[in-house]
Structure 1
Amino acid sequence: MSTENDPTEPTMQPTTILEIPSPKENTLSCGICEVNIPAADAYLTCINQKCHRVTCANCINTMVNMFFAQPTLNYPLKCGSCRTAFNKASVERVIINENYYEKYIACMLPLYWSKKCLDNDEELAKCPFCPYLEIHTTDACPIQFLTCQHPNCGKRSCLICLSVVQDDTDELTHRSRCVEYRHYKTLIDEAIATGSLRQCPHCELAGIKDDNCTHMTCARCSGKWCYFCGKKEEECNVDDDEYPSLSSHNNDWESNPDRCPMYLCKICELDDRWSAEDEDCLEFFHRCQTLRNLYEVLESIGEDILEELNDQYGIIDACGYSFDDIKDEENRILIKYEWNDS
Structure 2
Amino acid sequence: MQQDFRREVVCCVCGEVAEDGNFGILCCNEHYLCGDCGVGFIESMLSKPETQVPAKCCFCKTEIDMKQVERYLSYEQRVIYEKYYTLNKLDSKLHKVVHCQYCEYFEIWRIDNYSTFFYCQNNECRKGICLVCDQILQVSPSGIMTRSRTAHLDREILVHSECFKYMQMKEDWIDALIEGSQRVCPKCNNGGLKNGACNKMTCDKCNILWCYVCGQDEDHADKKDLNGNFDQHFIDWENNSKRCPKMLKFLAANDQRWDKDDEEANRDFFYKICLYKSIRGFFKKYTQEQFKALCEVAPMAKHHGYNLQEAMTMDLEVVKR
TM-score with structure 1 length normalisation? 0.50
Q: Deviations over 1:39-84 (max 9, x none)?
A: xxxxxxxxxxxxxxxxxxxxxxxxxxxxxxxxxxxxxxxxxxxxxx
Distance in 2 between residues matched to 1:326 and 1:300, nearest whole Å: 15
1:271 matched to 2:262: no
Distance in 2 between residues matched to 1:195 and 1:310, nearest whole Å: 20
1:254 matched to 2:238: yes
Structure 2 matches for 1:169-184, cutoff 5 A?
Answer: 175=161, 178-184=163-169
Distance in 2 between residues matched to 1:147 and 1:322, nearest whole Å: 44
The 1:220–1:132 alpha-carbon spacing in structure 2 relative to 1, beyond 3 Å, is closer
Does structure 1 retain, via aligned residues, the 8 Å contact 2:127–2:137? no
Q: How many residues align?
A: 200
- Return the letter of the residue paired with 1:204: N
Distance in 1 between residues matched to 2:302 and 2:191, nearest whole Å: 25
Distance in 2 between residues matched to 1:129 and 1:317, nearest whole Å: 12
Distance in 1 between residues matched to 2:193 and 2:250, nearest whole Å: 19
Structure 1 residue 215: Cα displacement: 0.6
Structure 2 matches for 1:1-342, cutoff 5 A?
Answer: 111-112=102-103, 114=105, 118=121, 124-126=127-129, 133-136=138-141, 156-157=155-156, 165=158, 175=161, 178-239=163-224, 241-276=225-260, 277-315=262-300, 318-330=303-315, 332-337=316-321
Name the structure 1 match of 2:72: none
Structure 1 residue 232: Cα displacement: 1.0
Structure 1 residue 290: Cα displacement: 0.8
Unaligned 5+ runs, structure 1: 1-108, 138-145, 159-164, 166-170, 338-342
C-alpha RMSD of the superposition: 3.6
The 1:192–1:126 alpha-carbon spacing in structure 2 relative to 1, beyond 3 Å, is closer
Does structure 2 retain, via aligned residues, the 8 Å contact 1:215–1:224? yes
Unaligned 5+ runs, structure 2: 1-99, 108-119, 143-148
TM-score with structure 2 length normalisation? 0.53
Does structure 1 retain, via aligned residues, the 8 Å contact 2:166–2:294? yes
Structure 1 residue 216: Cα displacement: 0.9
The 1:237–1:320 alpha-carbon spacing in structure 2 relative to 1, beyond 3 Å, is farther
Structure 1 residue 131: Cα displacement: 6.3
- Superposition misfits of 4+ residues, deviation over 6 angstroms: 127-131
Name the structure 2 match of 1:58: none
Q: Deviations over 1:177-204 (max 9, x none)?
A: 6434111111111111111111111111
Structure 1 residue 256: Cα displacement: 2.5
Does structure 2 retain, via aligned residues, the 8 Å contact 1:199–1:206? yes
Higher relative contact order at CA 8 Å, sep ≥6: structure 1 or structure 2?
1
Distance in 2 between residues matched to 1:224 and 1:114, nearest whole Å: 35
What is the percentage of aligned positions where both structures have the same residue?
A: 24
Does structure 2 retain, via aligned residues, the 8 Å contact 1:217–1:225? yes
Does structure 2 retain, via aligned residues, the 8 Å contact 1:225–1:232? yes
Distance in 2 between residues matched to 1:113 and 1:194, nearest whole Å: 23
The 1:236–1:301 alpha-carbon spacing in structure 2 relative to 1, beyond 3 Å, is same
Structure 1 residue 263: Cα displacement: 0.6
The 1:245–1:296 alpha-carbon spacing in structure 2 relative to 1, beyond 3 Å, is farther
